[in-house]
Structure formats: C-alpha cells, structure tokens
C-alpha cells in the first residue's frame, strides 16, 4: 500500500516510518521539512498548497493526515475562546485534504485527532485522575475540547464523519494521547524533558506530577505505529474513533474498542517502568 503522510517528518510521522518502514507499506512524507529517513520518499512542501496535496493524494492508496499550521494562541493549556488566522488556516487545510481524498477515490484516511478533543474530562478531574480514578472516556462520549486546538481536532473529526458517510472512504480518527520523540519515548519523558529545559527541578512536585500523568497518557512510538498499521490494514470501518494510548493501568481512555474492531494490542505499558532510562 502506498501511504502519504502529511506532516510526516514530525514526531508521529517518524514513529510510523521508524516502525513500519520496509514492511508492506511504502511511505511518502509531505512536510515543510525533509524526512530524516532516506528510505522514505520526502516531498518538501507546505500542506496548505491544495493543488500539490491533491497531486500526491491521487498517487496514494491511503493518507495519514498529521499536518497542521502551528497556532500562536489557543494551545493546549489555553482555554480561552479566541480566533486566529492560523486557526482558519487549519480548518481550511483539513477540509482541503479530505476533499482531495474524496475526489481522487482514496480508500483509507487516518486522521490525527487528539485527546484534547475530549480534554475537559482531564481538566475537571486533574490531578486526582493521574493516580487512579473511576473516569473512563470511550468512543461514545460527547466531545469536550479543552482549547481551540481541541476544537480544531473536533472539527477534523466532524469532517471525517461527513467524508466517510458521503463517499466510499474509510476514515479513522485517532485521539492520540502522549507520543514523544525517540529521546523521550518512555513514561518519564515529559518529566525529564522539563528538567532538561529548565522548567522545573528533578524531584519537584511538578516533576512527579508529570510522571503520574505520563503513566496514564503515554503511547510508545511502536504502539502508535501499530495502531496506524491496524487502520491501514482494516477496511471494515466506515468512520471510527479510537484512542492512541499504550496499555497503562491508570489510563482513563478506553482501548477495548480498538482491540475489538482493529485488533490493536499494545506492546508497551507505563507500568513496566519504575525509573527513567539510565
């Protein structure tokens, strides 16, 4: 299968190609940056270029849509309802990629949604939710975005449902939790990154809270790659929402739906770690 990854040179795109490259799928990365893996075809371009995106979508069997325009305001820690031109660009970008997929007869579309599409469940229950709770969030819950970023992701899911129900395309919306670059690909990653950047000190309350949160939220790079592969190989779903998280005991996001429908079986669990890598 020929797979186009928009935004393919980033954290999740490289996780996919690192773990699925050389297998049954060939990958083309369309990104403003060169893909670091020379075995991946790299198209250095802006995904807001609708004509160019359509050209490469037409050559693909499936699209994994990760690309978005970075926003100055409305990020994941900002619950202010605020409009920006970058927000508008993202709404246009997602619609144009879906439209290209429909018009070129694409079979499979994997959309990188986010846990922030339902992030208010975490906001209203934090920090207690990090230490075990009765909260469970599955594919049937109402969207509860925690930011304009989350609103954008809900919009992308809505487009996906419309696209699936008005065409023959299968659409998979992945509410991805916490996937990190290879250096921090472990449940202590955010805590260690905070120390490395000088945001807080090791053994501070902030450090330990980040550890607790990541023990709930972490999805390893090979687990996100496996989840994407299960979507690419499925073909039975019209439109579906699935959570991107490893098999962590304290997670509040459901993975049974992904297990039952897609056959997703995480390799990793945060509970296997009791310290950062030495």
Q: For 93-105, how does the pLDDT look when each residue is reduced to its tens digit (9 = 90+)? A: 999 999 999 999 9
* Mean predicted lDDT score pLDDT of the chain: 97
Q: Terminus-to-terminus CA distance in the chain, angstroms?
A: 39
* Strands across the sheet containing 2-6: 41-44, 26-31, 2-6, 62-65, 108-114, 170-176, 239-244
Specify the pLDDT at position 133: 87
pLDDT band at 169 (very low <50, low <70, confident <90, very high): very high
pLDDT at 242 over 90: yes
Which is more confidently placed, 22 or 271?
271
User: Please, are residues 97 and 127 in contact by the beta-carbon 8 Å criterion?
Assistant: no
- Average pLDDT score over residue span 185-213: 97
- Average pLDDT score over residue span 207-236: 98
Which is more confidently placed, 21 or 268?
268
Q: How many of the other CB atoms lie within 10 Å of CB of 18?
A: 15
Residue 170 bridge partners (DSSP): 108
Specify the pLDDT at position 101: 98
Specify the pLDDT at position 23: 82
Which tens digits make up the pLDDT trace of 43-82? Answer: 999 999 999 999 999 999 999 999 999 998 999 999 999 9
Specify the pLDDT at position 180: 98
- Average pLDDT score over residue span 208-220: 98
Instruction: Say how many residues make up the chain.
Output: 278
pLDDT band at 22 (very low <50, low <70, confident <90, very high): confident
Maximum distance among all alpha carbons in the chain?
54
Specify the pLDDT at position 278: 85
List the domain boundaries for the chain. 2-125+134-181+221-272
Task: Report whether CATH 3.30.420.40 matches the domain 2-125+134-181+221-272.
Answer: no
pLDDT at 21 over 90: no
Write down the pTM of the prediction. 0.97
Q: DSSP per residue over 220-263, as a string?
A: -HHHHHHHHHHHHHH---SEEEEEE----TT--B--HHHHHHH-
């Amino acid at each position: 299968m020929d797979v186009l990854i928009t935004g393919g040179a980033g954290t999740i795109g490289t996780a996919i190609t690192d773990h699925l490259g050389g297998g049954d799928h060939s990958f083309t990365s369309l990104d403003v940056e060169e893909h670091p893996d020379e075995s991946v075809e790299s198209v250095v371009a802006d995904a807001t270029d609708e004509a160019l995106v359509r050209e490469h979508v037409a050559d693909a069997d499936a699209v994994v849509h990760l690309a978005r325009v970075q926003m100055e305001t409305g990020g994941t820690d900002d619950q202010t309802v605020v409009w920006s031109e970058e927000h508008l660009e993202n709404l246009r970008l997602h619609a144009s990629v879906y439209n290209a997929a429909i018009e070129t007869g694409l079979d499979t579309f994997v959309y990188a949604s986010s846990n922030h599409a339902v992030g208010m469940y975490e906001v209203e229950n934090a920090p207690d939710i990090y230490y075990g709770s009765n909260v469970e969030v599955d594919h049937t819950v109402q969207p509860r975005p925690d930011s304009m970023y989350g609103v954008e992701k809900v919009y992308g899911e809505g487009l996906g449902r419309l696209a699936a129900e008005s065409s023959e395309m299968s659409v998979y919306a992945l509410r991805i939790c916490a996937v990190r670059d290879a250096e921090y690909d472990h449940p202590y990653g955010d805590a260690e990154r905070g120390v490395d950047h000088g945001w807080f000190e090791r053994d501070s309350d902030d450090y330990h809270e980040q550890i607790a949160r990541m023990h709930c939220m972490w999805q390893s790079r090979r687990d996100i790659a496996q989840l994407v592969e299960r979507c690419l190989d499925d073909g039975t779903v019209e439109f579906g929402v699935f959570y991107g998280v490893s098999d962590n005991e304290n997670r509040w996001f459901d993975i049974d739906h992904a297990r039952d429908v897609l056959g997703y079986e995480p390799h990793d669990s945060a509970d296997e770690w009791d310290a950062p890598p030495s």
